[in-house]
Amino acid sequence: MVRAVSSLLAICYLIFMFIMTHLPKRQVPKTLQLTSDKTLHFLAFFFLGVLASLALQVRFGNRGWVAYALATVGLGILYACFDEITQPLVGRHFDQLDILYDVLGLCAGVLVFQMGRPLMHKITGIEELR
């Protein structure tokens, strides 16, 4: 059950991110326009890093944190590139600096997940988080 929920949560978040990053500029909520674009990229990919790490850790068990960290960052970089490449289709622009902030957010999310994993195991009792 935990495997399915963690995977579903990561996938739903990824879909939400795709929708938000592919809204035409005029449809982006005004509150999001008050914050730096780079901050939004960092935060969005930070949470993706945490959720994807959780889903991969629970799905594949404790095979060492480096394995899911590399998978999370690798897949996240591919998604970040795909995201930036497809944005011009909806009137937005490609920005290499956005990809950098995406990667920084991913790495921070993976590290925070790794540091919090023992506490999450204690609280939830999920054996794969040991």
Q: Tell me the backbone φ, ψ of residue 36, rounded to 5 degrees.
A: -60, 135
* In the chain, domain spans: 2-129
Single-letter residue type at 127: E
DSSP state at residue 130 = -
Per-residue pLDDT, averaged over 37-49, amounts to 95
How confident is the model over 84-122, as pLDDT tens digits?
999 999 988 899 999 999 999 999 999 999 999 889 888
- Please answer whether residues 111 and 104 qualify as being in contact, where contact means their C-beta atoms are separated by less than 8 angstroms: no
Q: Any idea which residue has 């925070």 for tokens?
A: 112
Q: Tell me the backbone φ, ψ of residue 116, rounded to 5 degrees.
A: -90, -5
pTM of the model: 0.89
Single-letter residue type at 88: P
